[in-house]
Amino acid sequence: MHSIPACPVCGSENTYPDGSMFICPDCAHEWNPSEPEATDGDERVVKDSNGNVLADGDCVTLIKDLKLKGSSTVLKVGSKSKPIRLVDGDHEIDCKIDNTSIMLKACFVKKV
Ligand SMILES: [Zn+2]
């Protein structure tokens, strides 16, 4: 272990160790790195901020305002997406909100 891993939930790199646990200050996720994550196989589980499993075709709402990178557009908390598509990467959700295509992190949404 050469460095502290990024948060498996939100991808934040502000994580820090606490005893045998790692803690993410951005989403308050705590995890034990000696417990292997179940990442084998094709089945990728993406969970929303409430821990509900998300699937292609689900609709989600934002739980916080999100500023779009490279623009002054802000997507407001409570904005509802079109049906989502789950993708690889640290932004797991590909969807449209207010006719804007956007990649979202699952920890910033909840399933409708
Ligand atoms: Zn996090």
Each residue's pLDDT tens digit, 2-28: 578 899 999 999 999 999 899 999 999
How big is the chain, counted in residues?
Answer: 112
Judge whether 10 and 89 are in contact, CB under 8 Å.
no
pLDDT given for residue 105 in this prediction: 94
Q: From the CA of 77, how far away is ligand 1's center (Å)?
A: 19
CA 97 to ligand 1 center in whole angstroms: 23
What phi, psi does 108 have (nearest 5°)? -105, 5
Distance 6 CA to ligand 1 centre (A): 8
pTM for this prediction: 0.59
Sequence letter at residue 67 = K
Q: Residue 89 has what pLDDT?
A: 86
| Gap from CA of 70 to ligand 1 centroid (Å) | 23
pLDDT one-digit tens code per residue, 61-105: 999 999 887 888 899 999 999 999 999 888 999 999 988 899 999
